[in-house]
Amino acid sequence: MSIAPLDHQDAPTPNGNGTASSSAADDAGLVQLKQQRDMLLEEASQEPDPVHTGEAKKETQIIAIYGKGGIGKSFTLANLSYMMAQQGKRVLLIGCDPKSDTTSLLFGGRSCPTIIATSSEKRLAGDEVTISDVCFLRDGVFAMELGGPEVGRGCGGRGIIHGFELLEKLGFHEWGFDYVLLDFLGDVVCGGFGLPIARDMCQKVIVVGSNDLQSLYVANNVCSAVEYFRKLGGNVGVAGLVVNKDDGTGEAAAFAEAVGIPVLSAIPQHEDIRRKSANYEIVGRPGGQWAPMFEELAMQVATAPPLRPTPLSHDQLLDLFKGDAVGRDVVLTPATQADMRGGVFVEHKTLEVVYDGV
């Protein structure tokens, strides 16, 4: 709630010596401030909505997928969205990464025009962006890329915000999909990439990770962001973790158990998957070798409730790994001025004048 500034008309007007008029105005101002204070106190005392642990109830499930760059979000989403579409679901896949590579696998390696770039081109030409300019189909999957600025020429997070503003103008909230899948960078420190969590734009979040420290570090950051906005009254929860390139060592599963989220799927580190993905082939086709895995993942994504995670401290995260794997036996040795200068450092007396007794 905002407190309206006093208007010039509200300022006290002197009457004679100004005392009586000013006193009355002061009393009225104090009453107004007290009322506003009481309203703010009442608003602040309201508890946030309880944590939602049931199945998401909105007609369209909007799900944001986060993970470290290169961990396999695009691979997971391309195959997941394809499988969902073959199951008769209406699915929209939106790439929210400046690299604009979310839909490459889906479209056989081809890149589709991004919303940001198309908007700039249309604006220069004096034209309006239409949905046909930015949204494309393959075997029932609707897909688009938000895009972002060129390297060194702008803020990627701000580009994401601008992209969603354009989607709203195109009727985003009126579209009829069963699922909208958002592919986001794991760097939720930036407000743009944390948009779905911060503004309750999605019902739940899914993190993609592997059995390595860096991907689980990012997954833990996502859980921290969700927990932070929960404390502020947000409603987004984490539905679970997809373990990609699973080598069976178990660190990702241990992480999921520690933060209180389920493992939705464990995609194995298999040469057939690697080779086909490198050739831009969809492996999540009905009837294929890997179809049961993506059929199960589709069911888990649809039904997993959004949960409130318990993020780990950095030391707790390190404890998931063997000490020699993360350098836990390393001792932090403080550096000296002599070390920094590559030799002997002679400390000179300060020239500061100290006045005793002042």
Active site residues: 68, 73, 99, 187
- What is the rounded CA–CA span in Å between residue 302 and residue 84? 10
Q: How far apart are CA 311 and CA 164, in angstroms?
A: 28
Q: Which two tokens stand for residue 148?
A: 């972002």
Q: Which two tokens stand for residue 307?
A: 């949960």
List the strands of the sheet with 136-138, edge to edge.
136-138, 141-145, 91-96, 179-185, 61-67, 204-209, 237-246, 263-268
For tokens 């309201």, the residue is: 46
Are 68 and 222 within 8 A, CB to CB?
A: no
Residues 260, 309 contacting (CB under 8 angstroms)? yes
Instruction: Give the pairing type, strands 91-96 and 204-209.
Output: unpaired
Among 261, 70, 68, 82, smallest CA distance to 179 is for: 82
Using CA atoms, how far apart are residues 19 and 54, in angstroms rounded to an integer? 63
Tokens for 348, please give them. 């000179």
Torsion 182-140-137-267 (CA) sign: positive
Task: State the Rg of the chain over Cα.
Answer: 27
Provide the pairing of β-strand 237-246 with 263-268.
Answer: parallel
Rounded Cα distance between 208 and 235, Å, is: 21
